[in-house]
Amino acid sequence: MIGRSLFTLLAYLALSGPAIAFPFHPPSSSEIEDSNIEKRGLVAGWTSLGCVVDAHTRVLSESFKTTKSMTTEYCLTYCAQKGFTYAGTEDSSQCWCGNSIPQGLGTSAAGCNAACGGNANEICGGPWRLSFYFHQVYKQSKVSTSSSAKSSSSSSTIKTSSSSTTKTSSSTTTIKTTSTTTTTTKTVPTTTTTKTPSPTTTTTTTTRSTPTTTTTTTTTSTPSPSPLPANPAGANSVFGVANPPGSNSQKSLYVHHIVGNTYSYSVSDWMNDMSQASAAGIDGFALNFGNLYWEFTQMDNAYAAANQLGGNFKLFLSIDFSANSCSGASDADFLTSLVQKYAYNNAQATYNGKPMYASFSGSGCNFGQDNFNDGFNYFDQLLSNKGVQGFFVPSIFVDPSQYSGFNWMNGELNWNSGWPMGDSPLDTSSDNQYMGDLGGKAYMPAISPFFFTYYGPNSYNKDWIYRSDDWLLARRFEQIVQMRNQVDFAEIISWNDFGESHYVGPIRQVSTPWSVSMPHTPLLPLINYYSSAFKYGSYPSINTDQIFLWSRPHSKWAQPYAPTLSKPNNWQNTDDNLYVVMLLSQPAVVTIYSGSNKAMWNAPAGVAKLSVPSLPGSIGASIARNGATVKSYDSTGQFSYTSNPADYNFNYFVANA
């Protein structure tokens, strides 16, 4: 008999959906397996490049077509008429087009084995496999940069003087201070990288990124700081946060909860999760569910738990279409009945009086209709026939320019907005694109602390990272706070997805090797601080000092002595740093260290974001005032950064004090 923990892990794997990310390089015929590709039916100018692994983020996503009579010729003609460089057929009935390759291509020696719906003698990809083609007018491949635009840079010079005025331009800031300073600043905080700090009061810094343009006025009064020892090269600091834009409306913050990781849950376990989330300022769970029979029982348990807590913690269903069937009318009937079941429950989340529901993926669904759009129109009408006027906020991975034309969609969760797709700090270009393309429909941005997944080809073939640097969780929250006049809700990804390392909830039985002994719940008090600003329009007063630290366990350059898989794709996009966020009730001398690398700053009251390059050993931080340490943390006995790991692990260890 399979033990409960193993059964639960297998259940989790069944829900984790295939996905892949790729190091970019232009494709060549020698790199791509084409033994399974049928060469007949090619339109003039197109060349077959073989079988390519698709993903939830989609290799090609700029245009999509589905029909039961799909052929290779139909797809290539469709993409050519639209002016696209690349085309791919998938799963018998789907056609995908695009002009960019997201970080290269993942290839497959097998899997393209589905006959085309309109010609059984041709192959049209397979499940999560593309029969891939490119047009011979192709000159140079482009890397998709929807959410990873390079940041601008500027320099700042700080000098000691007797005046207290601040002058700001786009490139240079000069701040003059006295022993007691009142400073008025017409700028937002910027992420700075200290290149060559010195014990004098003159410091040159280089700004790596410029946040969304916002004007704020802050006033501080601090004693003149004493000179500190020189910091190591690469030590980073950002002090303060921009004031939220004025708004009287209250916002909602949800978190993605994987029901497939709750096999052993009791109602009290659900209540425990909800209590922890609520204490962090989170308003509810988006219940991501698959098709395992016990998941439906657990959804009942979740709603029962929320009602036992008084019904103030809200829930809504999120249909995982990577695990649920959506090819027939009966699938639509089953899923709409589930939405109907909870629609008017006291714990159901609503928006403008309508019960919310969502999905992960769904671009391959047709519910027995002719195409994807008709399928969801049918789904929406069927739900209406059952007496539910719902508010549907899916995460559909198609060209965003199509969203405004989908009558069945009330909004969109921009799943991939939570991480940068390249090697630059996360910006808001993807948010701006989505909000522009939605045509007035609701926009739900994503927030996430990390991303690392490490599944081999015998499971889900997911082995990559997204850049999780630059104090990603804090950075993203600050971006969301600044757009609170444009959005009414946001979703944290995730509460308990251990396979992708972005969990913020407790590690329970269902876990992964790379999440064991890597807690993330210490982030919850930090989420609580930022959630107040997002939900209510002002940051809370800081009455108690807090320290939050996170670090990977080894360098990106490390060569493990017993690796399970190859080095994760995109490994080069991260930096080897210890990241620290402090909430300071008063000005203080703050210190952080990773191994023998130590950095110190004279910090004002408020938010301090700090980092230092990682070296082997323990990590730690401290806050001192008047020569006495008032708060500190050291990871000895819990965590140590190493130069000689057994296996790759790009997950983060998190601690707080």
Residue 134: closest CA among 186, 176, 190, 76: 76
Calpha distance 343→565 (Å, rounded): 44
Question: CA-CA distances (angstroms) from residue 565 to 223, 422, 490?
Answer: 53, 22, 34
Residue 194 is classified by DSSP as E
Under the banding of pLDDT at 50, 70 and 90, the label for residue 443 is: very high
DSSP strand pairing (46-53 vs 94-98): unpaired
Over residues 558-606, the pLDDT tens digits come to 999 999 999 999 999 999 999 999 999 999 999 999 999 999 999 999 9
CA nearest to 37, candidates 29, 365, 45: 29
Count of Cβ atoms closer than 10 Å to residue 462 Cβ: 26
Question: Residue 107's beta-bridge partner residues?
Answer: 52
Instruction: Judge whether residue 287 has pLDDT over 50.
Output: yes
Give the separation between CA 623 and CA 236, rounded to whole angstroms.
17
Least confident of 137-151, 488-502, 562-576: 137-151
Question: How many CB atoms within 10 Å of residue 152?
Answer: 12
pLDDT band at 439 (very low <50, low <70, confident <90, very high): very high
Write down the residue that tokens 């991260």 correspond to.
574
Which stretch of 25-34, 69-78, 215-224, 581-590 has the lowest confidence by average pLDDT? 25-34
How would you class 285 by CB atoms within 10 Å of its CB: exposed for 0-12, middle for 13-18, buried for 19 or more? buried
33-37, 513-517, 642-646: which has the minimum mean pLDDT?
Answer: 33-37
Q: Where are the alpha helices (DSSP H) in 557-621?
A: none
b vs e for 511-531, b when ≥16 Cβ sit within 10 Å of the residue's Cβ?
A: bbebbeebbbebbbbbbebbb
State the pLDDT confidence band at 260, using cuts at 50, 70 and 90.
very high
Q: What is the mean pLDDT of residues 483-505?
A: 97
Q: How does residue 170 score in pLDDT terms, banded at 50, 70 and 90?
A: very low
Q: Where are the beta strands (DSSP E) in 199-328?
A: 203-209, 236-239, 252-258, 284-289, 314-320
Q: What is the DSSP letter of 385?
A: H
The contacts of residue 435 (CB under 8 Å, 6+ apart) are 443, 486
Nearest to 531 by CA among 284, 310, 287: 284
Q: Which two tokens stand for residue 597?
A: 């690398």
| Those residues with Cβ within 8 angstroms of residue 472's Cβ, 6 or more apart along the chain or in another chain | 419, 426, 448, 449, 450
Query: By the 8 A CB rule, do 322 and 395 touch?
Result: no
Report the pLDDT value the prediction gives residue 81, as an integer from 0 to 100: 83
CA distances from 43 to 50, 62, 129 (A): 16, 20, 21
Q: Which of the pair, 209 or 552, is modelled with greater confidence?
A: 552
Place of tokens 């913050």: 253
Structural tokens at position 575: 């930096």
Asked if 607 and 478 touch (Cβ cutoff 8 Å), the reply is: no
| % residues pLDDT > 70 (the chain) | 78
The helix/strand count (H/E) of the chain reads as 9, 32
Give the span between the Cα atoms of 99 and 642, in whole angstroms: 42
Any idea which residue has 């308990």 for tokens? 496
pLDDT surpasses 50 at 441: yes
Q: State which amino acid sits at residue 551.
A: S
Q: What percent of the chain has pLDDT over 90?
A: 65
Handedness of CA 47, 49, 53, 57 (dihedral sign): negative
pLDDT given for residue 487 in this prediction: 96
Measured torsion, CA atoms of residues 59, 286, 317, 56, in degrees rounded to the nearest 10 = 10
Peptide bond into 494 cis (omega under 30): yes
Question: How much is the pLDDT for 629?
Answer: 98
Tell which wins on pLDDT, 390 or 13: 390
The whole-chain average pLDDT of the chain stands at 83
Q: What is the pLDDT of residue 189?
A: 53
> What pLDDT shows up at residue 196?
33
Q: Which residue has the tokens 């009061």?
A: 201
Q: Helix (H, G, I), strand (E, B), or coil: what is residue 503?
A: coil
Q: In the predicted model, is pLDDT for residue 23 greater than 60?
A: no
Sheet order of strands, 46-53 included: 46-53, 129-135, 86-90, 94-98, 63-66
DSSP per residue over 198-217, as a string? -SSS-EEEEEEE--S-----
**How far is Cα 140 from Cα 137, in angstroms, rounded to an integer?**
10
Query: Which residues have C-beta within 8 Å of that of residue 432, sequence separation ≥ 6?
Result: none
For residue 112, give Cα distances in angstroms to 54, 124, 131, 369, 372: 11, 7, 6, 24, 21
Q: Would you state the pLDDT for residue 236?
A: 92
* SS3 label, residue 2: coil
215-230 mean pLDDT: 56
DSSP strand pairing (172-177 vs 155-160): parallel
Lowest mean pLDDT among 2-16, 27-41, 159-173, 315-329: 159-173
| H or E stretch at 274 | helix 267-279
Q: Which of 80-84, 241-245, 567-571, 611-615 has the lowest mean pLDDT?
A: 80-84
